[in-house]
């Protein structure tokens, strides 16, 4: 646990990446696995993660990201896109995957499937999209923690224009919405913010025991 806390003190939202340093394939596969293993409501993972490798595409996304240099300089750029209107087929596909993975009779999973549908399908569209968007933050948390263990920097970003991302990446046609962006790579030695002391609320203000 001490190592975990040390890693959390080490990590920060990197403002300037070293564009010459790239994440190894092995380390990036570890980060992908961490995202894949993230918790999500019902285990549904109601999102997809786009790995933007094309430099021209990343250059197009930069103006829609308030001009932030991390978009083009980071080793990897990830866009977490939530499913806007999760449907019954997507739940059925999840149940089929569960049955196959756990070698279960799919009929025995029908009560669970019906329960999920009764809770999710009845939500208004905006509430359903908001719910699925929240799941991307859980995946981002796993990415942040795994990256810190590998001494890889991540900048979690809400400073972008989702509508323009959706247009550039063609997400609307896929029923998806850009929820979060994560620039991943290695901090530049000139990024002075890496030396800033973390500013956090004191425990007596942050935690309330009832």
Alpha helices in 11-108 (DSSP H): 25-36, 55-61, 70-73, 88-102
What is residue 56's predicted lDDT score, i.e. its pLDDT? 98
Phi, psi of 154, deg, nearest 5: -135, 135
- Which single residue is written with the structure tokens 């030695």? 189
Q: Is residue 172 included in any domain, yes or no?
A: yes
- Per-residue pLDDT band for 143 (boundaries 50, 70, 90) equals very high
Answer yes or no: pTM beyond 0.85. Answer: yes
* Number of domains comprising the chain: 1
Closest CA to 184 of 158, 157, 152: 152
Closest CA to 183 of 19, 47, 39, 30: 19
Q: What is the mean pLDDT of residues 48-62?
A: 98
On the question of pLDDT at 1 being above 70, the answer is no
Question: Is the distance from CB of 76 to CB of 24 less than 8 angstroms?
Answer: no
- Which single residue is written with the structure tokens 């549908």? 117
- Per-residue pLDDT band for 2 (boundaries 50, 70, 90) equals confident
Range of the domain at 149: 2-84+126-190
- Per-residue pLDDT band for 3 (boundaries 50, 70, 90) equals very high
Please give the angle made by the CA atoms of 180, 148 and 199, to the nearest 5 degrees. 75
- Integer CA distances (angstroms), 65 to 78, 84, 167, in order: 13, 21, 13
Tell me the CATH number at 178. 3.40.109.10
Residue 46, number of CB atoms within 10 A of its CB: 24
Q: Is residue 206 included in any domain, yes or no?
A: no
174-186 tens-digit pLDDT: 999 999 999 999 9
**Average pLDDT value for the chain:** 98
105-139 tens-digit pLDDT: 999 999 999 999 999 999 999 999 999 999 999 99
Q: What is the mean pLDDT of residues 45-70?
A: 98
On the question of pLDDT at 99 being above 80, the answer is yes
Closest CA to 49 of 79, 84, 29: 79
In the structure encoding, which two tokens stand for residue 52, read together?
A: 């933007």
Q: Is residue 116 included in any domain, yes or no?
A: no
Q: Is residue 132 included in any domain, yes or no?
A: yes
Q: Are strands 176-185 and 76-83 parallel, antiparallel or unpaired?
A: antiparallel
Q: Is residue 9 included in any domain, yes or no?
A: yes
Q: Is residue 49 included in any domain, yes or no?
A: yes
Q: What is the mean pLDDT of residues 16-32?
A: 98
Q: Is residue 200 included in any domain, yes or no?
A: no
Q: What is the mean pLDDT of residues 21-27?
A: 98
- Give CA–CA dist 167/171, Å, rounded: 7
Q: Is residue 170 included in any domain, yes or no?
A: yes
35-45 tens-digit pLDDT: 999 999 999 99
Give the burial class of 171: count Cβ atoms within 10 A of its Cβ; 0-12 exposed, 13-18 middle, 19 or more buried: buried
What is residue 166's predicted lDDT score, i.e. its pLDDT? 98
């Amino acid at each position: 646990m001490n190592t975990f806390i040390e890693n959390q003190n080490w990590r920060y939202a990197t403002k300037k990446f070293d564009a010459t340093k790239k994440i190894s394939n092995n380390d990036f596969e570890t980060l992908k696995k961490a995202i894949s293993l993230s918790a999500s409501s019902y285990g549904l993972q109601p999102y997809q993660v786009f790995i933007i490798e094309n430099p021209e595409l990343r250059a197009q996304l930069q103006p829609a990201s308030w001009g932030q240099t991390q978009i083009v300089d980071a080793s990897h750029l990830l866009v977490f896109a939530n499913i806007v209107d999760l449907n019954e087929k997507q739940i059925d596909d999840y149940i089929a995957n569960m049955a196959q993975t756990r070698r279960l009779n799919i009929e025995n999973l029908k009560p669970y499937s019906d329960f999920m549908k009764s809770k999710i399908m009845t939500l208004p569209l905006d509430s359903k999209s908001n719910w699925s968007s929240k799941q991307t933050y859980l995946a981002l948390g796993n990415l942040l923690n795994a990256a810190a263990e590998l001494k890889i920097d991540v900048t979690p970003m809400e400073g972008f224009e989702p509508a323009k991302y959706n247009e550039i990446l063609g997400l609307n046609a896929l029923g998806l919405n850009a929820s979060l962006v994560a620039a991943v790579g290695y901090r530049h030695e000139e990024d002075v913010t890496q030396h800033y002391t973390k500013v956090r609320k004191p425990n007596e203000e942050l935690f309330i025991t009832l």
